[in-house]
A and B are shown apart, each in its own frame.
Chain A
Amino acid sequence: MTTTKAHGPTAKMDIRGVSKTFDTRAGAVHALDRCDLAIREGEFVVVVGPSGCGKSTLMMIAAGLEAPSTGQILVDGKPAGPAGPQRTVVFQRFALFPSETVAQNIAFGLRVAGVDRAERARRVTEQLEFMRLSQFRDAYPHELSGGMQQRVAIARALVVRPEILLMDEPFGALDAQTRTVLQEEVARLSREMNYTVMFITHSVEEAVYLGDRVVVMSSRPGRIKKEIAIPRDAGWRRLDIEEASSEPGFIELKREIWALIRTEIVRQ
């Protein structure tokens, strides 16, 4: 059903034939069905789909936090193994460590990896500046707004220099204004640093705005239904999301993707 352009040695992360069945009291739930998805180095792939389609499950499997029933995850052509800093995750609910300050949260992965104190301090400071968090370095998570907390979570995930950044509906718990600001921030980030990102959302607008490629999933059991490339050189790339979303090319893509999702919602 899908022909992924990126199959082969060029894929940074390769999700191959991943299925997932959960055993529940009501019987087996078939959540994912033979999903194939290859993500190239430096590519920003956004996965969209109706709620309950298993996109979060797919990401947890990609992260190594859940085991697939069949299939495998390859990074640079090798089995990815258990969860680790090679693939860091930004969760919808931030998941910051409440007993640690912003700087300590960001330093967590570096300390675990045994990075020495001086190098750690340097990289944390750099990351704080990059995410515009410097003035909050000694604050505790509960003292920050949701948007700030999610910036910290992104910084914490990036500072360990992962091969791939996994973002699981990272802006789903934020208010509309904060979300807009962070969407633009992440767009800037991926432009400047060329990260490899797998991003999950249910917002089609967000998908078109951020993605190099949008992957639409079917309703349960989740399959990869269609992949849509978003031109890198699209005129609205450098606009803010408000302006971009009124550009004809943007509207056209949004409509196309939304039509695909709508079919899936109706089919449920």
Chain B
Amino acid sequence: MTTIAAPMASRPRRAPLSPPLVYGAAAIAFLLVLWFAATAIPGVVSNKVLPSPFDVVERFATLAADTFSGSTLFGHAAASLTRWLIGVTVAVGLGVPLGVLLAWLPPLRPAVTPVFELFRYIPPFAWVPIAVLWYGASTTTQAMIVFIAAFPACVINTQLGVAQVDSILLRAAKTLGAGAATTLSRVVLPVAAPAIFTGIRIAFSNGWMALVGAELVVGKQGLGFLISQGQINDSVSTILVGMITIGALGALIDVVLQRVQRLLLPWKSATTRPVA
């Protein structure tokens, strides 16, 4: 888009840190100080209840290097990420097409919606017992829980996004000679893409949270399993390492997805400044 770039002096300069980034870092630093203060000042919180940040960092190093409950920290994280990835891939792969179909073929809706709504209100954890009976304490079981947690957000947001595409665009495509397939791939899906991405984002985080929950109950590996082992071994610092890893990985997944979205939808993130 060279033709519309603002005429700026092209002096190479280091980008200044954006204020949101500075504020975010400051808030996290503040929390850490508060945490440290609570553990350092005698008589506020016992180390047995809440270890200091340094204890947790130390524990993190140990868990990263040594095996605990079958794996290192990375082994547990990799196990969780694998199950999560399988579950969300299937959820997106089935959920997005189903959402498109529901929006594109209205007669399907009265048939599918009641079934879908019924299943949607069964919490993912309610599926754990039956999943265990079907698949045992396996990756399939965990991935199935992820799938169940992630699937509805994909379907609902895709359906909404596709249904909200302005019908005048469909008419324009028709008068230019486009058939249904071209209209779907070149007009409807790109326009609905932000909504679909929103669905995927929700699906990713729902899936991640449900997975950790399921791992607390069943399985011999994973971050949820790690924190449940921390509880059994009476090690609060292990639990905290697990919790922080779960939170950080979840946030990382979200950041990556937002980057991907910006890459795939340049017309959405482009400047809204009119140039003519």
Contacts and interface: CB of A to CB of B under 8 A. Distances in A.
A136 B3 contact: yes
A139 B177 contact: no
Say what secondary structure dominates the interface of chain B: helix
Contacts of B1: 138-139
B75 interface: no
Nearest to B270: A140
Given A99-B193, A108-B173, A112-B182, A136 B276 contact: yes
A99 to B, nearest CB: 3
Interface in A76-91: 82-85, 87-89, 91
B176 A142 contact: no
Contact of A143 (B171, B265, B274): B274
B177 A109 contact: yes
Contacts of A160: 176-177
Nearest to B271: A143
A7 to B, nearest CB: 26
B4 interface: yes
B169 A95 contact: yes
Contacts, number: 103
Given A91-B168, A138-B2, A139-B4, A145 B175 contact: no
B48 interface: no
Interface residues of A, number: 38
Contacts of B266: 140
A101 B4 CA distance: 12
Contacts of B267: 98-101, 140, 142
Contacts of A120: none
B4 A136 contact: yes
B172 interface: yes
Contacts of B2: 138
A108 B275 contact: no
Contacts of B178: 108, 112
Contacts of B172: 89, 91, 95-97
23 contacts: A65-B171, A65-B175, A82-B174, A84-B174, A85-B175, A85-B177, A87-B175, A88-B175, A88-B176, A91-B172, A95-B169, A96-B172, A100-B190, A108-B173, A139-B4, A142-B270, A142-B272, A144-B276, A147-B276, A148-B276, A157-B175, A157-B176, A160-B177
Given A108-B178, A109-B176, A144-B275, 7 more contacts: A83-B175, A91-B168, A97-B186, A100-B186, A138-B3, A157-B176, A160-B177
